[in-house]
Amino acid sequence: MSVAPEFKELFGRLYHSIWNERRLEFIPLVIADTHALGDPTVSGRGVGPESYRRQVERFLTGLPDLRFDVEETISEGEKLVVAWTISGTHRGEFLGVPPTNRRVSFSGITINQIRNGKIIESTVIWDGLGLLEQFGAELPVRYEMLAATSR
């Protein structure tokens, strides 16, 4: 794992303190006021620390024992790319699915754009379909066919 020295504190606060220790007070120290969040499960684009806080809280509501594991990082210029896996137990409503108490794990990649020591943009791509399958959610036929062909 390689994190540029200038990103180490930011990286630790984001993935260790905020996500794994639930220290949401660190969000304004990491996320810029103009931060744009691009996530396939968020309609529109969220802006700023409060939007990011809502996203963290949404995940923690659905998976209160969530663990965020960083698998790999790449940093170049003002970008920090993080490949990650989240695991947890589905104990609250998430993605419109009521709690199933199932243990789940899913992976994704976040591309963080950094300026002046804060994240100004995050583009997130993660396996929401795989997560819904782990929940045992009823998927529309077109998604079931897609999932079957990707195996």
Q: How do residues 52-109 score in pLDDT, each as one tens digit?
A: 999 999 999 999 999 999 999 999 899 999 999 999 999 999 988 999 999 999 999 9
Picking from 64, 48, 19, the residue whose alpha carbon sits closest to that of residue 122 is 48
pLDDT digits 0-9 by tens, 9-51: 888 899 999 999 999 999 999 999 999 998 877 766 668 999 9
SS3 73: strand
Q: Give the CATH class of 5-149.
A: alpha beta
d(CA 28, CA 2): 24
Q: Is beta strand 31-38 parallel, antiparallel or unpaired with respect to 118-126?
A: parallel
141-149 vs 128-135: helix axis angle to the nearest 10? Answer: 110
Contacts 24+ apart (CB under 8 A), 123-127: 123/38, 124/37, 124/38, 124/39, 124/40, 125/40, 126/39, 126/40, 126/86
What is the widest separation between alpha-carbon atoms in the chain? Answer: 47
pTM score, whole prediction:
0.85
Structure tokens at 61: 């509501």
The two tokens of residue 60 are 């923690």
Closest C-alpha to 39, from 111, 139, 143, 92 = 111
